[in-house]
Amino acid sequence: MSSKKPSVSLALGSGGARGLAHIGIIEWLEEHGYRIASISGASMGALVGGIHAAGELEAYKRWVCALNRADVLRFLDFAFSGDGLLKGDRIMDTLKAMVGDREIQDLPVSYTAVATDIDRQREVWISEGPLFDAIRASIAVPGVFTPHEYQGMTLVDGGLLNPVPIAPTFRDFTDLTVAVNLNAMTVRIPTKLQKQVQQRGRESSDERSYQDRIRQFLDAISDNFGGGGAQKLGVFELTTRSFETMQNAIAATKVAAYHPDVLIDVPRDSCAAHEFHRAREVIELGRGLAELAMGAHD
Catalytic residue annotation? 43, 157
Distance, CA of 110 to CA of 29 (rounded, Å): 17
CA angle 5, 44, 170 (to 5 degrees): 50
- 145 to 43, 157, 239, 248, 259: CA distances (angstroms): 12, 9, 11, 20, 31
At 138, which amino acid appears?
A: S
Q: What does the buried/exposed string (b/e) look like for 217-228 if buried means 16 or more CB atoms within 10 Å of the residue's CB?
A: ebeeebeebeee
- The backbone torsions φ and ψ at residue 255, rounded to the nearest 5 degrees and listed phi first, read -65, -35
CB 261 within 8 A of CB 297: yes
Alpha-carbon distance 282 to 23, whole Å?
A: 9
Residue 9 in contact with residue 166, Cβ under 8 Å? no
Q: 108 phi and psi, to 5 degrees?
A: -70, -15
Q: How many CB atoms lie within 10 A of CB 2?
A: 6
Alpha-helical runs (H) found in 127-190: 131-138
Quote the DSSP letter at residue 204.
T
H-helix or E-strand containing 289?
Answer: helix 279-297
Q: How many angstroms separate the CA atoms of 159 and 123, rounded?
A: 10
